[in-house]
Amino acid sequence: MNHAIADAFDKASGAKTPWNPSRSAIARVKNPLPAPVTCPHCGASVEIVSNALIYGREYGEWPWAFMCTGKFCDSYVGMHPLTGIPLGTLADGPTREARKRAKAAFNPLWQAKAMTRSEAYAWLAQALGIVNVGECHIGWFDVDQCQRVVEACASRRNQGEKNSCPA
Ligand SMILES: [Zn+2]
């Protein structure tokens, strides 16, 4: 479906929810992950919830999340706006913390304009041995992969400092 038709369909089909997503928003998501059915951390089933269950009130422009139903598990992940497509894999507390650390190490690479965002991802994919850069998303990574992001960014920074030192 082309974007003009998708936009027209969206206008005609009423309020958007994860169950009535925007077709044009879906078309813009490049490497959609399937909606999670079971939690990768505890194996319990996953349901779609208002993110008020997580944050205490609805948060953001698309206040939905996939959440684990496991009693002792707090894994969840948000969705691409106007879709039912997860932003990444379901994250438990340690995974969320590890992803935060990875983003804090990685984002300055392209935010500082030393390279473009896609150049930065191409470099990261190579550093982690990920063949398809389309599969290189911090939101898809587990704790170990996040740790490798932090290490790769640190050694890149050290390398840069060495190179810029006068001999
Ligand atoms: Zn779980």
Model-level pTM? Answer: 0.84
Question: Does a structural domain hold residue 83?
Answer: no
> Do residue 73 and residue 99 come from a single domain?
no
Residues in Cβ contact with 63 at an 8 Å cutoff, skipping those fewer than 6 apart? 50, 51, 52
Question: Does a structural domain hold residue 34?
Answer: yes
Question: How far does CA 9 lie from the centroid of its chain?
Answer: 27
Question: Does a structural domain hold residue 85?
Answer: no
> Do residue 113 and residue 160 come from a single domain?
yes
Question: Does a structural domain hold residue 65?
Answer: yes
Q: Could you tell me the distance, in angstroms and rounded to a whole number, from the CA of residue 42 to the centre of ligand 1? A: 4
> Do residue 16 and residue 69 come from a single domain?
yes
Q: Could you tell me the distance, in angstroms and rounded to a whole number, from the CA of residue 84 to the centre of ligand 1? A: 19
> Do residue 105 and residue 137 come from a single domain?
yes
> Do residue 97 and residue 160 come from a single domain?
yes
Q: Could you tell me the distance, in angstroms and rounded to a whole number, from the CA of residue 51 to the centre of ligand 1? A: 16
Interval 3-37: pLDDT, tens: 777 677 677 778 899 999 999 999 999 899 999 99
What's the confidence (pLDDT) of residue 163? 64
Question: Does a structural domain hold residue 87?
Answer: no
CA distance 66 to 82: 14
What's the confidence (pLDDT) of residue 113? 83
> Do residue 73 and residue 124 come from a single domain?
no
Q: Could you tell me the distance, in angstroms and rounded to a whole number, from the CA of residue 59 to the centre of ligand 1? A: 22
Q: Could you tell me the distance, in angstroms and rounded to a whole number, from the CA of residue 139 to the centre of ligand 1? A: 17
What's the confidence (pLDDT) of residue 138? 96
> Average pLDDT for residues 76-89, to the nearest whole number?
97
Q: Could you tell me the distance, in angstroms and rounded to a whole number, from the CA of residue 36 to the centre of ligand 1? A: 11
> Do residue 48 and residue 109 come from a single domain?
no
Interval 90-132: pLDDT, tens: 999 999 999 999 999 999 999 988 899 999 999 999 999 999 9
Question: Does a structural domain hold residue 50?
Answer: yes
Interval 39-63: pLDDT, tens: 999 999 999 999 999 999 999 999 9
pLDDT of residue 167 exceeding 90: no
Q: Could you tell me the distance, in angstroms and rounded to a whole number, from the CA of residue 92 to the centre of ligand 1? A: 7
Q: Could you tell me the distance, in angstroms and rounded to a whole number, from the CA of residue 95 to the centre of ligand 1? A: 12
pLDDT of residue 64 exceeding 80: yes
Domain boundary among 48, 78, 108: 78
pLDDT of residue 160 exceeding 90: no
Number of folded domains in the chain? 2
Question: Does a structural domain hold residue 84?
Answer: no
Q: What is the residue range of 60's domain?
A: 3-78
Q: Could you tell me the distance, in angstroms and rounded to a whole number, from the CA of residue 69 to the centre of ligand 1? A: 7
What's the confidence (pLDDT) of residue 94? 97
Q: Could you tell me the distance, in angstroms and rounded to a whole number, from the CA of residue 40 to the centre of ligand 1? A: 7
By CB atoms closer than 10 A (0-12, 13-18, 19+), residue 155 is exposed
Q: Could you tell me the distance, in angstroms and rounded to a whole number, from the CA of residue 17 to the centre of ligand 1? A: 24
CA distance 151 to 96: 17
> Do residue 7 and residue 71 come from a single domain?
yes
> Do residue 34 and residue 58 come from a single domain?
yes
> Do residue 108 and residue 71 come from a single domain?
no
